Amino acid sequence: MTYDRDDLLKLLHLLDVTATDEIDCEEFLHRAAGFVERYDPDDGEARIAPEHAALVQHLKVCPECLEELRALYAALRAED
């Protein structure tokens, strides 16, 4: 398998933002429902409580969970 420059840059970025204590996707999704009410995926960490730091960290390294959160956020806002 060969990697191009963009692949390597993405990998370096993920290495840079990865913390020593990370939660996995299952834990993130388990806690996402309570988190989405305080988090605007387009506004970053504006209203984040300290206990949600692990969730924010996970979003920095997991684009799939970020997409899930965006979908949940959009659904929640559509109900308002």
Q: Would you kindly state where each structural domain of the chain is located, as residue ranges?
A: 5-79
Q: What is the pLDDT of residue 28?
A: 92
Burial of 16 (0-12, 13-18, 19+ CB in 10 A): exposed
pLDDT, position 77: 81
pTM equals: 0.67
Specify the higher pLDDT residue, 80 or 56: 56
Write down the pLDDT at residue 25.
93
- Per-residue confidence (pLDDT) for residue 44, from 0 to 100: 59
Q: For the residues of the chain, what is the DSSP string, one character each?
A: ----HHHHHHHHHHHHH--SS---HHHHHHHHHHHHTT--TTTTTTT--GGGHHHHHHHHH-HHHHHHHHHHHHHHHHH-
pLDDT in tens, 15-65: 777 777 889 999 999 988 888 877 766 665 556 777 788 898 898 889 999
